[in-house]
């Protein structure tokens, strides 16, 4: 499932790749305009912020979903699983 897709409200297409990394497909802020592989959800979150700074439209729910997933992973890793 994607975090966000190209559309009228989004200039970014980011999804979890089958190889385990998060892919920013057709990334407008990459040097070559191709995909960017991100190896943590924190890196993906910061990458979305870079898109916002560059003036790209990013769905707020993509940011929220990444933040929630990061929080959940930290709870599990810290032994605070609910």
**Domain locations along the chain:** 2-77
**Structure-token match 């790209």, residue found:** 56
Count CB neighbours of 19 within 10 A.
Answer: 7
Count CB neighbours of 46 within 10 A.
Answer: 12
pLDDT higher for 81 or 6?
A: 6
| pLDDT at res. 82 | 53
- For residue 40, pLDDT over 80 is answered with yes
- For residue 72, pLDDT over 80 is answered with yes
pTM to 2 decimals?
A: 0.89
């Amino acid at each position: 499932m994607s975090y966000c897709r190209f559309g009228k409200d989004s200039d970014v297409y980011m999804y979890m790749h089958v190889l385990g990394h998060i892919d920013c497909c057709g990334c407008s802020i990459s040097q070559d305009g191709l995909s960017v592989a991100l190896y943590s959800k924190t890196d993906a979150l910061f990458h979305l912020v870079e898109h916002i700074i560059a003036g790209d439209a990013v769905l707020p729910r993509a940011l929220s979903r990444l933040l929630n997933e990061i929080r959940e992973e930290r709870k599990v890793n810290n032994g605070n699983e609910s």
